[in-house]
Amino acid sequence: MNINHVSHVLRHLWKHKYILYTYPLLRLAMISPFVGTNAFLHKLRGVTVGKEVKIAHDVIIGPVEPTSIALEDYVTISPRAVIFGHHTSPDIQEKTESINPTRIREGSWICIGATLMPGVTVGKFCVIGAGAVVMKDVPDFTLALGNPAQPVRVLKKIYKIPEDATVDRVLVLEDSK
């Protein structure tokens, strides 16, 4: 390592000095088996978290810029999902950084192993399939799959859960045929 590289790394760390307390919170949320506790820990880190958000273990949300991530009400995030809101150029000489807010709108479900790149918005009541890589916005009521994620189905009905039901939430997918 040369001195210029070390100097660049130290300047970058100082610019993001809040990482000193947000990173341990991120690690705690990654190992915690309690979805409500994980949402609370991410909220402490600066992620905008709505009501009844469920975040599983092993989820990475905004490791560098947690304040650039917004999760609206009733969002569910499955294990091993990764959500970014910050990009640093891989070219050390270029030294460019950009913060592109990432937003997951109400009632959406991010399945196991999905990755959301900086600057995307996942619409209301969407399902992002397992292992999908979302690189552009996903419209409301859409099932998106693949790498890069592509809309494959429109989800056309949302069913309300009766107040006396024992299940917290139900998402019903219905073919648009």
The CATH number of the domain where 106 resides is what?
Answer: 2.160.10.10
Confidence of residue 105 (pLDDT cuts 50, 70, 90): very high
Q: DSSP alpha helices (H): ranges in the chain?
A: 3-15, 19-31, 35-45
Q: Which residue has the higher pLDDT, 159 or 156?
A: 156
Under a CB-based contact definition with an 8 Å cutoff, are residues 61 and 26 in contact? Answer: yes
Kindly state the tokens that stand for 37.
Answer: 């506790």
Residue 79 lies in a domain: yes
Q: Is the pLDDT of residue 109 over 90?
A: yes
Q: Is 12 a catalytic residue?
A: no
Residue 176 lies in a domain: no
Residue 140 lies in a domain: yes
Residue 54 lies in a domain: yes
pLDDT of residue 56: 93
Q: Other C-beta atoms within 10 Å of 1: how many?
A: 6
* Least confident stretch, 16-20, 21-25, 69-73, 107-111: 16-20
Q: What is the pTM of this model?
A: 0.76
Domain residues for the domain of 91 are: 3-154
Q: Which residue has the higher pLDDT, 66 or 15?
A: 66
Of the candidates 8, 42, 57, 86, the residue annotated as catalytic is: 86
Residue 167 lies in a domain: no
Residue 32 lies in a domain: yes
Residue 34 lies in a domain: yes
DSSP class of residue 77 equals E
pLDDT of residue 89: 54
Interval 160-170 mean pLDDT: 56
Q: How many domains does the chain have?
A: 1
Residue 171 lies in a domain: no
